[in-house]
Amino acid sequence: MILTENLTQRYGRHEVLRGLSLDAREGEVTLLIGSNGAGKTTTLRILAGLGRASSGSARVAGIDVLRHRRRAQRQLSYLPQGVAFHPRLSCRQVLGFYARLRGVDRGRIDHVLDLTGLAVHAEKRAGKLSGGLRQRLGLATLLLPDVPVLLLDEPGLSLDPEWRGKLQSLLRDEAARGKTVLVTTHLLAEWEGAADRCLSCRDGRIEGEVDPDRLRPENRILIPFLKQAV
């Protein structure tokens, strides 16, 4: 479960979050959509325990992230935008590093290599990976700890269409296992039919909920604010 209430955040005089309240449920993939600068990344970073809020509350798996950051972080896994890894480490070594960091059994490394189609690239250095493979390695690190909450910031951007589809089905599988999955995206059309809920973020607030089965441009006609927002 993810819950934020009246989150506010400012950078200097710029109010980035202006009372942002959202919830995402267990067993569901929830999209957070909105144009550049709407506040999606800021919200995700706060939920991941990496960003501060000026006021409001944020809970992950029932834990107050702002008060009990470390405890909350043990319940979540976060894939930021534009992941980067040490270029000289192989995929397997990168995953070994994260397994140690998160206290994960090394036995899961082969499992996540398989899930992300990286088994054949396991010994390749991260510095030699294409953008798409690097993103799949990011996805593997995300899935390494078996935790109840997954946060993903624009995870589809550097993936090819086949892997965008696989990403969605991987996330649906994780949700089906009871996890709460929150994904930011502006690749709306591609997510049509692939999520359980879709929240629209604009100017630092949630302005409404959109039917996740009507995200293609031709289906958006009935959603006036979405036409402007994304």
23, 206 contact by CB (below 8 A): no
**Is the CB of residue 137 less than 8 Å from the CB of residue 118?**
yes
Q: How many CA atoms lie within 13 A of 36 on its CB side?
A: 0
Q: Length of the chain, please?
A: 230
Figure out which of the listed residues 11, 13, 103, 107 binds ligand ADP, where binding follows CB under 6 A: 11
> Residue 140 or 226: which CB sits closer to ligand ADP?
226
Least separation, in Å, of the C-beta of 55 and ligand ADP?
A: 16
d(CA 91, CA 87): 10
Q: By CB under 6 A, is residue 121 in contact with ligand ADP?
A: no
**Residue 108 within binding range of ligand ADP, rule CB under 6 A:** no
**41 interacts with ligand ADP by CB under 6 A:** yes
> 6 with 56: CB under 8 angstroms?
yes
In the chain, DSSP finds a helix count (H) and a strand count (E) of: 8, 10
Is the Cβ of residue 122 or residue 157 nearer to ligand ADP in the bound state?
A: 157
Q: Which stretch binds ligand ADP (CB under 6 A): 32-40, 121-129, 142-150, 213-221?
A: 32-40
Is 40 among the residues that bind ligand ADP (CB under 6 A)? yes
Answer yes or no whether residue 13 interacts with ligand ADP by CB under 6 A: no
Residue 107 touches ligand ADP, criterion: CB under 6 A: no
CB atoms within 10 A of CB 84: 10
Check residue 36 for interaction with ligand ADP (CB under 6 A). yes
Q: Using the rule CB under 6 A, which residue among 42, 90, 168, 180 binds ligand ADP?
A: 42
| C-beta of residue 151 within 8 angstroms of C-beta of residue 30 | no
- Give the binding site for ligand ADP (CB under 6 A): 11, 16, 34, 36-42
